[in-house]
Amino acid sequence: MITRQVVRDQILAYLNRQITLAQLVDWAENTMNEGALDSRDAPVLADVIGRLGAADIEDFSLTWDDCYSFLSRLGYKVEVMAA
C-alpha cells in the first residue's frame, strides 16, 4: 500500500540524489498503474504521485518549490540541513 510516508521517502531520495529523476518518474508511473493508495489519503496521494509521474515532461519539470509543496501537502515540515 502506498502511504504518505512512502511518497515522502521517494521525494527525499530524489532530493538527496539517491535516485534519479527518471527513477522517480518510473516509480510514480508504476504506482499510479497499480492503484494501491492508502484510502485515507488517496486524493492527495494521487495528485502528488500524478505530478511526479509527469516530471519528465518539459512543461511539468520538477522544482525545489514543487517538492517543498508536495511534502507540505503530505503533512511534513521541510527543513534543509547541510552536512
Express each pLDDT in 49-83 by its tens digit.
Answer: 999 999 999 888 999 999 999 999 999 999 988 88
Q: What pTM, to 2 d.p., does this model score?
A: 0.93
Q: 9 pLDDT band (50/70/90 cuts)?
A: very high
For the chain, domain boundaries: 4-73
pLDDT at residue number 77: 97
Produce one character per residue of 23-58: b if its CB has 16 or more CB atoms within 10 Å, e if not: ebbebbbebbeeeebeeebeebbeebbeebbebbee
